[in-house]
Amino acid sequence: MPTTSIKLDDETKIRMKRLAEARGRSPHWMMREAISQYLTREEARESFKQEALASWAEYRETGEYVTAEEAGAWLRKWGSRDEADAPRCHK
């Protein structure tokens, strides 16, 4: 695997070293973990954004929608004995 370097300012290096020592980890481990968590979070955000854009495109094509009240009422019943089918779309 190719290596990648990162340049940190002195204050960030000090903070990283201090936290790594407190956690019993190496600064290298801390940076890898931070990058991994960042990527996971940002990939999820990007996925959510793409789903929203696809939903918007579908709405523009079909004009079909459910109201926020209908969706909320339906979601509140999830996992209960009153769980129901999704509300019907309007035009």
Q: For 18, how many CA atoms within 13 A lie in the half-sphere containing its CB?
A: 6
Say what the pLDDT of residue 2 is. 84
Question: What percent of the chain has a predicted confidence (pLDDT) above 90?
Answer: 93
Quote the DSSP letter at residue 86. Answer: P
Say what the pLDDT of residue 41 is. 98
Say what the pLDDT of residue 3 is. 87
